[in-house]
Structure 1
Amino acid sequence: MSEALRLLLVDDEAPARARLRDLLGDIAAEVPSTVVAEAADGFAALERAQAGDLDVALIDIRMPGMDGVELARHLARLPSTPAVIFVTAFDQYAVQAFELAALDYLVKPVRATRLADALRKARRHADDAVRLEKSALAIRQNLSCLERGRILLVPVAEILYLKAEQKYVTAHTAGREYLLEESLVHLEAEFSERFLRIHRNCLVARAVVTGVERAADEGDGEAHWQVILDGTTERLPVSRRQWAQVKTLLKLAG
Structure 2
Amino acid sequence: MSDLVDTSTGAPLTQIVTLSFFRFAGPLARVWALVMMGGARLPLARTPDIGFWKLCGSGTGEGFTPVPNTAVYAILATWPDIATAKARSSSGIFARYRGRAAEHWTVFLQTQSARGQWSGQQPFAPTATATPGPLAALTRATIKPRILARFWGRVPNISAKIGADSNVMFKIGIGEVPMLHQVTFSIWPSESAMAAFARTGPHAEAIRAVRDEGWFAEELYARFAVHSDAGTWNGTSPLARPEAA
Q: Same fold (TM over 0.5)?
A: no
Higher Cα radius of gyration: 1
Q: Which has the higher contact order (CA 8 A, sep 6+)?
A: 2
Q: TM-score range by the shorter chain?
A: under 0.3
Tell me the TM-score normalised to structure 2 length: 0.25
